[in-house]
Amino acid sequence: MSETWLAAAGVGFVAGYLSGQFGIGGGMITTPAIRLILGGSELVAVGTPLPVIIPTAITGVIEYRRRGLLDTRVGLTLGAVGAAFSVLGAWLTSLVGGDVVLYLTAALIAWMSFDMAQLALRPEQAAHVKAAMAGRRDSWLWLAAIGAITGVYSGFLGLGGGFVVVPALVRFLGFDAKRAVGTSLIAVLILAVPGTITHYLLGHIDIAIALGMSLGVVPGAMLGARVTAASQEKTVRVAFAAMLLVVGLLLAANELGWLSS
């Protein structure tokens, strides 16, 4: 039991670090890790990361707020709209099954990684997107649409929604990557609450694993946020894209049986 808790805490630290660094909530690490390292089922791997996201996101929000790297209004709006839709997403997991959920997770992660990478490697395009899209930040319609999509995927895939929010803020609202990361954590924090409740009622949360991971997420999130704050914009985008691609490929390979011994 102690070895399981130690492994879970280690996973939590890595997830917390990446959450603080990239504003993703940590579920991209904890979901495959529960399957690959901790031996959880597909639906447990989807539901268990959500309660762990809450302390992770709180820590990240505090760190980014100190540095002025978040938009509170946008973050709260995305979170409030997304929270209602996250319940729908969580309910859908029971209809389609765990394997389908994890395949969709891998595919969406891979697509997001390619989009972020091309913006990072083509600064002229990134500058054009930023200038053209910045006015949308005041549009409630755009914020509601992004919040709704984020909420569905948060509940459906158990990833907190940050993997949608960060690229969406950069691509569709012209945010700098650092501010997108900080703003994402506000939405992620709000989104995690209804998703946690719903998945708990559905029996998709392993309390022991969640508690073990929670031990590592706070120091990890503090360190990750400080690393991003000190990094260049291009570095943040490239690192975000690379992280998405690696996690997506590992998750897909595991579900296809390529990592089985």
Instruction: Name the band, by pLDDT with cuts 50, 70 and 90, for residue 88.
Output: confident
Q: What is the pLDDT of residues 140-154, one digit of tens each?
A: 899 999 998 888 877
224 vs 83: CA distance, rounded Å? 25
Instruction: Name the band, by pLDDT with cuts 50, 70 and 90, for residue 261.
Output: very low
pTM for the full predicted model: 0.79
- The candidate with the shortest Cα–Cα distance to 240, out of 231, 174, 53, 65, is 231
For 22, the token pair is 């990239």
What secondary structure, in 3-state letters, does the chain show? CHHHHHHHHHHHHHHHHHHHHHCCCCHHHHHHHHHHCCCCCHHHHHHCHHHHHHHHHHHHHHHHHHCCCCCHHHHHHHHHHHHHHHHHHHHHHHHHCHHHHHHHHHHHHHHHHHHHHHHHHCHHHHHHHHHHHHHHHHCHHHHHHHHHHHHHHHHHHCCCCHHHHHHHHHHHHCCCHHHHHHHHHHHHHHHHHHHHHHHHHCCCCCHHHHHHHHHHHHHHHHHHHHHHHCCCHHHHHHHHHHHHHHHHHHHHHHHCCCCCC
Q: What is the pLDDT of residues 108-131, one digit of tens each?
A: 777 777 777 766 666 665 566 666
Are 25 and 56 in contact by the 8 Å Cβ rule? The answer is yes
31 vs 49: CA distance, rounded Å? 6
Compute CA 13 distance to the chain's CA centroid, rounded to the nearest angstrom: 15
Query: What is the percentage of the chain residues whose pLDDT exceeds 70?
Result: 81
